[in-house]
Amino acid sequence: MTDPSDARTAASPTDILGASVIGGRSVRGGDGEIAAIDPRTGVELEPSVGLIGSEELDRAASLAAEAFSRFRATTPLQRAALLESIAKNLEAIAEVLADRVVLETGLPRVRAVSETGRTTGQLRLFADVLREGVFHDARIDRAQPDRSPVPRADIRLRKIALGPVAVFGASNFPLAFSVAGGDTASALAAGCPVIVKAHGAHPGTSELVGRAIADAVAANGLHPGVFALVFGRGEQIGKRLVEHPAIAAVGFTGSRRGGSALVQAAARRAVPIPVYAEMSSINPVFLLPSVLADADALAASWIGSLTLGAGQFCTNPGLVFVPAGDAANTFIASAGRRVSAAPDATMLTPGIAAAYADATAKLSRTDGVTTVAEGEADDEIAHSGTPQIFAVDASTFLSETALQEEVFGAAGIIVTVRDVGQMIEILKGLEGQLTVTIHGDQTDEGVSQLIATAEERAGRILFNGWPTGVEVGHAMVHGGPYPATSDPRATSVGSLAIDRFLRPVSYQSFPAELLPEPVLDANPWQVWRQIDGTPGKV
């Protein structure tokens, strides 16, 4: 174990020391080491990362608790400045960051560059949210002393930060859903200190980003406990972090097994806390009769979405339903030709590649499942995933629950059904999803009922589009019923994500001198609020 008082500080923002960041300093733990692996070559990357133990984690959590009261009391403008400073720091190291992302993940450089832009865009989005002020959800019910039979007291409401948040970095988005991703941005915007448990697949990337955040915290004169980045032994350090009494909420992106374990750990605490976990989705697509004349074009666009990023997206459209017949046969044949021509792709980690191989092999052995096509393997890629598609009829799909399990990678199942009515019945029986996609138009019989059923099953419904690609904006929902997420009321993408880390507080019969700014009569911050039920900037 390394004493944090003896921690090394990086010489420059682009140095990688293989260290956690605690209290604004680099801390190389002594509880073992891990190393990233270049998934294209299988070669271990330098430097190795020193893992922290329980004492260092406790220190990070204690510093976060110490920082909380002061950080939540900062003004929205101060927190906006912090978020913008982080964005600028990331842009200053963008070239080095992209190089490291490519090395640790095998993702193409264009993806690394675009994801950097998405990450800085999210940070600036929440800076705008802070300036605009709707997130306060300020409400004022003015006193009615003459109301009969009972007078009404003056009651005012605003939302405040929950407390320190534990964030778990994702494997498939080393930037946008990781150290400075949406969970971190929205939690900091809410006024919550953040401790990020870095993903072991891209530690160098995580450290570069973590120090960019810590430098921004220091430059803005904030308590160093506002942010920490920790590297530790998987489930052991993650469970301890969630169970730590200083932690008030959790943001997680990953597997159902991992997310469910955190939910259970949080529920067993003496003081249970919310866990916002995005976990599992197969994102079904329904092709209605009105679009089947374009079966070939639909197949082309589906395969493009399915194979994007080697299929390593939580919104990957892994399941397609189409009415049986000539058009379905055309769709299947066309999709097969395109998959056969699709190149092998690098998977993010050896573990993900192995899990994909196991899952697709299991599908190919399932009774009633036909392997339509698979791409050509590339022996020069150490850890790859060959695109594959399969076909089944509706009765087989309904009888084999394993066909409803997520396969993380470019694998898709085409299900031939009797009609739209059977699509609706199948959708009613599916687990919760991040997305449901419908291709059709208003003339399709049953389309309204299909949409209504989709509303019960998913957080986002697409019409004549494809779910890969999640816009970061004000109207986006990236969430859904279990097991897509652990809480269907929340989103992890878009401005509404800030609500996960806030709670409402009412102030009754307060003197004006003691009221917080969002609910003062003068409205000094000029925020939107409801006064006696009427919204406005008054």
Q: In this prediction, what percent of the chain has a pLDDT beyond 90?
A: 96
- Could you tell me the sign of the dihedral formed by the alpha carbons of 33, 36, 42, 45, in that order? negative
CA dist 127 to 21, 142, 304, 434, 519, Å? 24, 31, 34, 26, 21
Does pLDDT of 81 surpass 70? yes
CB of 143 within 8 A of CB of 154?
A: yes
Q: What is residue 11's predicted lDDT score, i.e. its pLDDT?
A: 59
CA dist 383 to 44, 72, 184, 355, Å? 13, 44, 30, 11
**Residues 6 or more apart from 324 whose CB is under 8 A from it?**
393, 416, 417, 418
Nearest Cα to 22, choosing from 70, 67, 78?
A: 67
Amino acid at 383: H
Q: Which whole number is the average pLDDT over 220-224?
A: 98
| Average pLDDT along the chain | 96
Q: What is residue 8's predicted lDDT score, i.e. its pLDDT?
A: 45
DSSP state of 500: G
Q: What is residue 538's predicted lDDT score, i.e. its pLDDT?
A: 80
Does pLDDT of 6 surpass 50? no
Asked if the domains 48-279+491-498 and 284-463 are classified in one and the same CATH topology, the answer is no
Torsion angle, CA of 43/49/53/59, rounded to 10 degrees? -150
Token pair belonging to 73: 């009391």
**Residues 6 or more apart from 493 whose CB is under 8 A from it?**
182, 470, 472, 476, 477, 478
**Residues 6 or more apart from 225 whose CB is under 8 A from it?**
23, 60, 62, 63, 64, 65, 66, 67, 68, 193
Q: What is residue 420's predicted lDDT score, i.e. its pLDDT?
A: 97
Out of 56, 278, 374, 406, which one is annotated catalytic? 278
Confidence of residue 235 (pLDDT cuts 50, 70, 90): confident
Out of 104, 207, 314, 374, which one is annotated catalytic? 314
Nearest Cα to 397, choosing from 411, 417, 382?
A: 417
Give 264-289 pLDDT, tens digit per residue: 999 999 999 999 999 999 999 999 99
CB of 242 within 8 A of CB of 275?
A: yes
CB of 165 within 8 A of CB of 192?
A: yes
pTM: 0.96
Q: What is residue 186's predicted lDDT score, i.e. its pLDDT?
A: 98
CATH architecture of 48-279+491-498: 3-Layer(aba) Sandwich (3.40)
H or E element, residue 213? helix 203-219
Q: Which whole number is the average pLDDT over 239-249?
A: 97
Domain boundaries of the chain, sorted by first residue: 48-279+491-498, 284-463
Q: Confirm whether 278 is a catalytic residue.
A: yes
Confidence of residue 7 (pLDDT cuts 50, 70, 90): very low
Does pLDDT of 115 surpass 80? yes
Token pair belonging to 10: 């990086």
CB of 198 within 8 A of CB of 18?
A: no
Fold adopted by 284-463? Aldehyde Dehydrogenase; Chain A, domain 2 (3.40.309)
Give 166-199 pLDDT, tens digit per residue: 999 999 999 999 999 999 999 999 999 999 999 9
Does pLDDT of 2 surpass 90? no
Does pLDDT of 5 surpass 70? no
Q: Is the peptide bond before 47 cis (omega within 30 degrees of 0)?
A: yes
3-state secondary structure of 322: strand
Least confident of 8-22, 130-144, 360-374: 8-22
